[in-house]
Amino acid sequence: MKIVLVRHGRPANSQNLRLNSAGFANWVKNYNHSLVASDSRPAFSFNDMFTNYYIVSSDLPRAIHSCKIAFNRPPAVTSALFREMDIPRFKLPFTLNAWTWVYLNRALWTIGKSGPFESYTKAKSRAESAAVTLIDIAKKESNVIVFAHGYLNLHMRKHFRAYGLKQTSKSSAYWGVTMFES
């Protein structure tokens, strides 16, 4: 049984612009609807490396698009379960670069600050559910590959190790591949 986590390709709408909090909220909306940038492609052939893998994807456009780029076909299953952990958007009186907003807001989120988005506690629980779902799929299909997201993949890795799977590779980069096997 093998489970492969793939981080999507670099989104087209991921510029590191200077923004106030309202601008950042709009940036997050655009980021979540983004496809993969035209110059972001995998460095190897997914078809050659992962022949006969059952293909799963987050339902966010950048993950589905990454799957189509990698395999020249859509995933067998798309699900919100595999979406990225929410990017919180707190109204703060700053003008910062977009990625500084991401890190600042996520730091506040992980220590318990809440808002009109998925809580960190619920996101961690969803990551465990996603990991268990992938294990169940792999038990049926032998091998599964999922196109998902960096922060979710980080949390799913913890659960795979806790369930006794062995991590054989790891990359958190765009198009990065992390592999587990039993």
Output the DSSP codes for the chain. Answer: -EEEEEEPPPBSS----EE-HHHHHHHHHHHHT--B-TT---SS-HHHHSTTPEEEEESSHHHHHHHHHHHSS--SEEEGGGSPPP------S--EEHHHHHHHHHHHHHTT---SS--HHHHHHHHHHHHHHHHHHHHHHSEEEEEE-HHHHHHHHHHHHHTTPEEEE---STT-EEEEE-
With respect to residue 22, please indicate whether it lies within any of the assigned structural domains. no
Q: Residue 53 is encoded by which pair of tokens? A: 């893998």
With respect to residue 83, please indicate whether it lies within any of the assigned structural domains. yes
With respect to residue 80, please indicate whether it lies within any of the assigned structural domains. yes
With respect to residue 30, please indicate whether it lies within any of the assigned structural domains. no
Cβ–Cβ under 8 Å, residues 178 and 169: yes
The tokens 């990551």 sit on which residue?
A: 127
With respect to residue 127, please indicate whether it lies within any of the assigned structural domains. yes
With respect to residue 131, please indicate whether it lies within any of the assigned structural domains. yes
pTM over 0.85: yes
- Range(s) of the domain holding residue 53: 2-15+37-57+70-89+113-141+150-181
Confidence class for position 160, pLDDT limits 50, 70, 90? very high
Cβ–Cβ under 8 Å, residues 128 and 159: yes
> Average pLDDT, whole number, for the chain?
97
With respect to residue 20, please indicate whether it lies within any of the assigned structural domains. no
Cβ–Cβ under 8 Å, residues 138 and 72: no
With respect to residue 81, please indicate whether it lies within any of the assigned structural domains. yes
CB within 8 Å of 35: residues ≥ 6 apart: 11, 12, 61, 62, 65
Rounded to the nearest angstrom, the gap between the alpha carbon of residue 2 and the centroid of all alpha carbons in its chain is: 18
Cβ–Cβ under 8 Å, residues 36 and 62: yes
How high is the pLDDT of residue 145? Answer: 98
Domain count, the chain: 1
**pLDDT, tens digit, 9 for 90 and up, residues 55-91:** 999 999 999 999 999 999 999 999 999 999 999 999 9
**pLDDT, tens digit, 9 for 90 and up, residues 11-50:** 999 999 999 999 999 999 999 999 999 999 999 999 999 9
